[in-house]
Amino acid sequence: MIEKVLIANRGEIAIRVIRTCKALGIKTVAVYSDEDYNSLHVKQATESYNIGEGTPAKSYLNQEKILETILASGADAVHPGYGFLSENPDFARLCEKNKINFIGTTSNSMELCGDKMQCKAVMLKAKVPTVPGSPDIVKDADEALQIANEIKYPVLLKSVYGGGGRGIRLVHNDKELNENYDSAVGESMAAFGKSAMLVEKFLEKIRHIEYQLARDKKGNTVHIFERECSIQRRNQKLIEQTPSPVVDQETRDRIGEIVVRAAKAVDYTNLGTAEFLRTDEREFFFIEINARLQVEHPITELVSGLDLVKLQIDIANGEPIPFKQKDLKMNGYAIECRINAEDTFLDFAPSTGPIPDVTIPSGPGVRCDTYLYPGCTVSSFYDSLMGKLCTWGQTFEECRLRMLTALNDFYIQGVETSIPLYKTILKTDEYKNGELSTDFLKRYGILDRLTADIKEDKNANKEAALAAAVIHSEYFKSRVTSSVEDSTRWKSQLD
């Protein structure tokens, strides 16, 4: 039985894991970089160890240092959170070797999930539908042409080693394919020193829908419903919700069975997420299994009533999942907004620095997981996720309205945030009607609407701004005339 968990992570997810451990009476060990000594997870854990410099490679990604800390603290288990080492099979293997209970899947299944080509092959064998395309790399343009005609244009020509748009081409017919094949190969050779081409169906107007899955060490497998995560920027999720507006019970059960099959196919253990693309033609294509706890797990907790971190710990302890698929009932609706420190108008560029003041929303149906507190700092060493604001409602509309109210109540001083963007999105008819797609922001011109909303906010506040300015200037004047000392202090405070 797990008695002491080292959390190999930081930020809101470290705090999230500590909370459940505390409630279960399990001791916790926090690790922190030099950049994080004043972070909330350091303060909430039973014990806290400094593990090195701010750069992730020298602390949160330093496997040897973390192993050393696990052994020094006497922790018998490690929770990797998400990001950092959470999906690194080498680290999972290191834990296995040292008889440390890694709260997640096995290193072998993690490796398989991480190798997209091999995983796709396994899924095809298990009759899990994947994005149509070549089952393996194609040897030349002719084979690519043949497959393209089988799966129908438009298709993507993709180098296995590609990334950042290089070695990838969108083609609509035989002529374009022939014209582009060699240049894609050449680009991949130039950029990565090697090339191996795939052909894949190009999907338009797609939704990102994923399933929470759980599998215990005895092989009992369940899915805990879907989450729709279509609202994204640069392939990063911004807003998630459950249930998905396009998943009815029949679909939920049908895709759910596929999810269970997929989990078995890779011999998955513990909690994971099966990600799908869903086309406008209602087809679901498996893309990958995320072999870890997901950022957006709280919305599944809100509609299922489960504590997913507790479930992770139970499974890691070798216990069977304490319920059957048929026992799970979806209750109400949940939305999550990822509160990022970023400037929407600077192409979502990160915004960092000290946070002198913050007001965290609360109230019926509101849950906020965050590392923010007045006086904390948003560090430029780590990702921009400051917190996750989740609301629950008996109806979708109640849930949406609670989110809007909570977003209005959320005040963060010191950095730009994605909060204004979310307010605009949640007020659109498209969002209300569930017309979601991964290109939602561009498709519906959301940034222009945000610009208009901000202007409207400013207009609404102009008298208050003016009044504040008048009072400020009067106060300043009175200080200057009343006392030299006072005015000096006042001025120094203003600097």
Partner 1 sequence: MDCKIEDIEGTFNGEIVENLGNNEYVIKLNDREQNLKILNMDARGIEFVLDQKYHKVKYLESGTSKMNLVVDGVPMTLNLHANLDEIVYKNVGGGGPAGTELALKSQIPGKVISIAFQEGASVKKGEAVCVLESMKMQVTVKAHKDGNIKSIKIKEGGTVAKNDVIAEIE
Binding positions for a second copy, 360-389, rule CB under 8 A: 360, 362-369, 374
Q: Write the single-letter amino acid at 435.
A: E
Q: With binding defined as CB under 8 A, does residue 362 bind partner 1? A: no
Instruction: Rank residues 25 and 193 by Cβ distance to a second copy and give the closer one.
Output: 25
Q: Which of 266, 336, 271 is nearest to 308 (CA)?
A: 271
The β-bridge partners of 237 are 232
Please name the residue that has the structure tokens 């200037």: 473
Catalytic residue at 292?
Answer: yes
Rounded least distance, CB 224 to a second copy, Å: 13
Helices 89-97 and 63-73 cross at an angle (nearest 10°) of 30
Restricting to residues 339-358, which ones interact with partner 1 according to CB under 8 A? Answer: 341, 343, 345-347, 349-353, 356-357
Quick one: which of 4, 22, 24, 47 contacts partner 1 (CB under 8 A)?
47
**Residue whose entry in the numeric block shows the structure tokens 């507006």:** 245
* Residue of 10, 227, 278, 292 marked active site: 292
Distances in Å between the alpha carbon of 414 and those of 339, 470, 481?
A: 14, 24, 32
Region binding partner 1 by CB under 8 A among candidate stretches 183-191, 283-291, 311-319, 487-495: 487-495
Q: Exposure pattern of 26-48 as b/e (b: 16+ CB <10 Å)? A: bbbbbbbbebbeebbbbebbbbb
Beta-strand ranges (E) seen in 24-91 are 27-33, 47-52, 77-79
Residue 396 is a binding residue for partner 1 (CB under 8 A): no
Q: Which of partner 1, a second copy, none binds 435 (CB below 5-8 Å, type-dependent)?
A: none
Residues 122-141 that bind partner 1 (CB under 8 A): none
In angstroms, what is the minimal distance from the CB of 326 to a second copy?
Answer: 16
For residue 477, the partner it binds in partner 1, a second copy, none, with Cβ less than 5 to 8 A by kind, is none
Q: Which residues 99-128 are close enough to bind a second copy by CB under 8 A?
A: none
Compose the 9-28 pattern: x for residues touching partner 1 by CB under 8 A, - for all others. --------------------
Neighbours of 345 (CB within 10 A): 14
In angstroms, what is the minimal distance from the CB of 373 to a second copy?
A: 8
What residues contact 437, with CB distance under 8 A and at least 6 apart? 205, 206, 207, 230, 443
Interactions with a second copy, residue window 271-300 (CB under 8 A)? 298
Restricted to residues 295-354, the positions that interact with a second copy (CB under 8 A) are: 298, 301, 305-307, 310, 331-332
Annotate 83-148 with DSSP letters as a single string: STTTT-HHHHHHHHHTT-EESSS-HHHHHHHH-HHHHHHHHHHTT--B-SB-SS-BSSHHHHHHHH
Rule CB under 8 A: say whether 484 interacts with partner 1: no
Count of helix runs (H) and strand runs (E) in the chain: 18, 22
Paired sense of beta strands 77-79 and 4-7, if any: parallel
Q: Say if residues 294 and 208 touch (Cβ distance below 8 Å).
A: no
Pattern 63-82, binding to partner 1, x per CB under 8 A? ----------x---------
Compare residues 117 and 467 and give the one whose CB is closer to partner 1. 467
Per CB under 8 A, does 469 bind partner 1?
yes
CB 246 within 8 A of CB 434: yes
Q: Which residues bind partner 1 (CB under 8 A)?
A: 37-38, 42-50, 73, 341, 343, 345-347, 349-353, 356-357, 380-384, 408, 411, 413, 447, 451, 454-455, 457-459, 461-475, 490, 493-494
Positions annotated as catalytic residues are 292
